[in-house]
Amino acid sequence: MQTQVGIIGAGPAGLLLSQMLHLRGIESVIIESRSRDAIEATIRAGVLEQSTVDLMVEIGAGERLKREGFVHHGIELRFGGRGHRINLHDLANGRTITVYAQHEVLKDLIALRLRTGGVIHFEAKADAVEDVATGAPQIRFTTSNGQKQLLRCDFVAGCDGSYGIGRSAIPEGSVRHDYFRIYPFGWFGILAKAPPSSDELIYAHHDRGFALVSTRSPDVQRMYFQCDPNDSVDNWPDERIWEELQTRVEGDKFRLKTGPIFQKGIIPLRSFVCEPMQHGRLFLAGDAAHSVPPTGAKGLNLAAADVHVLARALSSFYATGSTDLLADYSRMALRRVWRAQHFSWWMTSMLHRFHDAAEFDLKRQLAELDLVTSSRAAATTVAENYVGLPLT
């Protein structure tokens, strides 16, 4: 089997890249370990930056997103028993965010890719990436019926997420350096059949810990609360979850609208960056190269920004033979990655309860929240970062 760009992973990074390459006349093949059904049913992100929406529209995947996504002009920061609005639209030059679930993005991208002749091998697990330092790298993979296969390509894109194998083809120590931060808490996430409690997302700081009120549709709501990462969902019957969430968003007579909870899960929070994001003819994009705590809603958006840079570099190579943009990929991508790392860490630090925090730290957090909700300059910093930097 042979192609121009071999892509590992049919997540947002791999699918967006494949479609962008297709539009530039470059052929690719995607190797994906999970089934299409499993991918389309996995609940993850919800917030798309303006640039991600624009990119989806530009590549022809924006029709349903434009129709069914919810454009939000602001967010609420809630602390000390009161809500404070950050007007994203006003503070960030008319830019907004759109709430549209990641699995809906994936459904749209998979359908589009298949309709436009794309090749996606589902239930095919990449085992190794080889010869990346030569002009002819290859991906070894195993198909769903256990057959061993080889995909020869000009370039490999490792879009295989946090637990992928692409990264391991960059020698650790001599070439690759990994930067980590593990947070001492996780997020308990739920999906509930209920009407929206608020027109905009609520990020709440409370003595008992952080909570987030998000949405998916007029009938389905997404909420999270800070928890022990080693806790079990079995310890949390519906009533206990609603009580905890309600406590953390209390004040101003605000009441959550409740309903049956049909999905519960706990995710750990971490920050991670792998540098460089390339080696020879291997390029990493998205969670394969970095992850951020979800507080800044940046992960999927960073994946989209990476492949935007990568697609342009690959198309420059195929059009002119120049490797200049390819050589600069990691540097270009990492600038945005570290900005998003900083913002995600900052939002996380400002809004969560740290178990070793002294009374002083709590007071300092509240002063910081006061600053970002009362100073236009500070609020602008939140808004500009939240809606996302323009694609470069």
What angle separates helix 12-23 from helix 102-115, to the nearest 10 degrees?
30
**Within 41-70, which residues bind ligand PHB (CB under 6 A)?**
45-47
Helix/strand/coil (H/E/C) assignment for every residue in the chain: CEEEEEEECCCHHHHHHHHHHHHCCCCEEEECCCCHHHHHHCCCCCEEEHHHHHHHHHCCCCHHHHHHCEEECEEEEEECCEEEEEEHHHHCCCCCEEECCHHHHHHHHHHHHHHCCCEEECCCEEEEEECCCCCCCEEEEECCCCCEEEEEEEEEEECCCCCCCHHHHCCECCCEEEEEEEEEEEEEEEEEECCCCCCCEEEECCCCCCEEEEECCCCEEEEEEEECCCCCHHHCCHHHHHHHHHHHCCCCCCCCCCCCEEEEEEEEEEEEEEECCEECCEEECHHHCEECCHHHCCHHHHHHHHHHHHHHHHHHHHHHCCCHHHHCHHHHHHHHHHHHHHHHHHHHHHHCCCCCCCHHHHHHHHHHHHHHHHCHHHHHHHHHHHHCCCCC
Among 197, 221, 258, 295, binds ligand PHB (CB under 6 A): 295
Q: Does 161 bind ligand RFL (CB under 6 A)?
A: yes
> Which of 91, 124 has the CB closer to ligand RFL?
124
For residues 365 and 361, give the distance between their C-alpha atoms in angstroms, rounded to a whole number.
6
CB of 223 to ligand PHB, least distance (A): 9
Annotated catalytic residue, options 12, 22, 72, 206 = 72
Concerning whether 203 is annotated as a catalytic residue, the answer is: yes
Among 72, 113, 121, 222, binds ligand PHB (CB under 6 A): 222
Q: Does 34 bind ligand RFL (CB under 6 A)?
A: yes
- Residue sitting closest to ligand PHB (CB): 46
What contacts 9, CB < 8 A, 6 or more positions away? 30, 31, 32, 158, 159, 160, 161, 164, 166, 286, 288
Annotated catalytic residue, options 205, 206, 290, 298 = 298
Concerning whether 72 is annotated as a catalytic residue, the answer is: yes
CB of 224 to ligand PHB, least distance (A): 7
Binding partner of residue 295 among ligand PHB, ligand RFL, none, CB cut-off 5 to 8 Å per kind: ligand PHB
> Which of 45, 326 has the CB closer to ligand RFL?
45
x/- binding map, residues 180-219, to ligand PHB, per CB under 6 A?
Answer: ---------------------x----------x-x-----
Q: Does 156 bind ligand PHB (CB under 6 A)?
A: no
> Which of 6, 46 has the CB closer to ligand PHB?
46
- Would you say 260 and 193 are in contact if contact means Cβ atoms under 8 Å apart? yes
> Which of 59, 297 has the CB closer to ligand PHB?
297
Binding partner of residue 222 among ligand PHB, ligand RFL, none, CB cut-off 5 to 8 Å per kind: ligand PHB
Concerning whether 298 is annotated as a catalytic residue, the answer is: yes
CB of 265 to ligand PHB, least distance (A): 11
Query: Shortest CA distance to 137 belongs to which of 313, 330, 310, 280?
Result: 280
Q: Which stretch binds ligand PHB (CB under 6 A): 76-84, 166-174, 293-301, 335-343?
A: 293-301
x/- binding map, residues 11-30, to ligand RFL, per CB under 6 A?
Answer: xxxx----------------
Binding partner of residue 126 among ligand RFL, ligand PHB, none, CB cut-off 5 to 8 Å per kind: ligand RFL
Q: Does 303 bind ligand RFL (CB under 6 A)?
A: yes
Annotated catalytic residue, options 203, 279, 293, 308 = 203
Q: Which residues are catalytic?
A: 72, 203, 294, 298, 386
Chain residues binding ligand PHB by CB under 6 A are 45-47, 201, 212, 214, 222, 294-295, 297
Chain residues binding ligand RFL by CB under 6 A are 8-14, 31-34, 39, 44-47, 102, 125-126, 159-161, 164-165, 189, 267, 286-288, 294, 297-301, 303
